[in-house]
Amino acid sequence: MIVYILLALMFFVGLYGIIAKKNIIKIIVGINIVGYASNLLFILLGYKWDGIAPILTENMSITCFVEKAVDPLPQALVLTSIVIDLAFVAFLAALAIRLFEKYGTFDIDKIRRLKG
């Protein structure tokens, strides 16, 4: 249970970074943390304490395997979701560089030409 509370804490730290911080780089770091929190949730859902890798060897019965092996599906999903987070962060970092070239600042309060 404590793991899930820590996970929620991590998520809210990231969310705080996205919502409250004014610096684009800090927002990107917040996005990274939120991404890790959602990946960790997936991993925790499939994890078993003292579990084994989900590989069926010759001298292992099916029932033993089902009981002890961790669930491999969330791990496969997390791989995809890591790649998506990577795309987000890479694109935002490139965008931040371009924005700095145009506006000369990372402060989102000063990047405000669009109104209405």
Partner 1 sequence: MNHLIILPVAIYLGAAFLISLLWRKDDKLAGAAAVSFVFLSAVISIISGIDVFTNGKMLYFAGGWEKPLGIVLMLDPLSSIFLIMTNVIAFFIMLYSTVYMKKYTWAPYFYTLFMIMLAGMNGILISMDIFNIYVFFEIASIASFILVAFGLKAEELEASMKYTVMSFIASTMILFAIALIYGFTGTLNIPAFMSEAAGLSPVHLWFLAGLLLSGFALKTALVPFHSWLPDAHSMAPAPVSAILSGMFVKVVGLYVIIRITTNIFITLPQIRVLLLLFGVLSMLFGGLMAYGQQNIKRLYAYSTISQVGYCAIGLGIGGYLGCLGVLMHFIAHAFSKSLLFLNIGAIEYMTGTTEANQLKGLNDRMPVTTLLGSTGMLGIAGVPPMGNFWSKLIIILAAIKAGYPGIAVLCIIVAVITLGYFLKLQRTVYYNRVENPVKKEAPKMLLFPMGVLTLLVFISGILLVPGIKEKTLDRAVSVMENFSYMDIKIGEKR
Binding site for partner 1 (CB under 8 A): 18, 24, 27, 31, 34-35, 38, 41-42, 45, 73-74, 77, 80-81, 84, 87-88, 91-92, 95-96, 98-99, 102-103, 108, 111-114, 116
Q: State in angstroms the smallest separation of the CB of 74 from partner 1.
A: 7
What is the rounded distance in angstroms from the CA atom of residue 44 to the CA atom of residue 75? 10
9 vs 59 by CB, closer to partner 1: 9
52 vs 106 by CB, closer to partner 1: 106
Cβ contact 54:73 at 8 Å: no
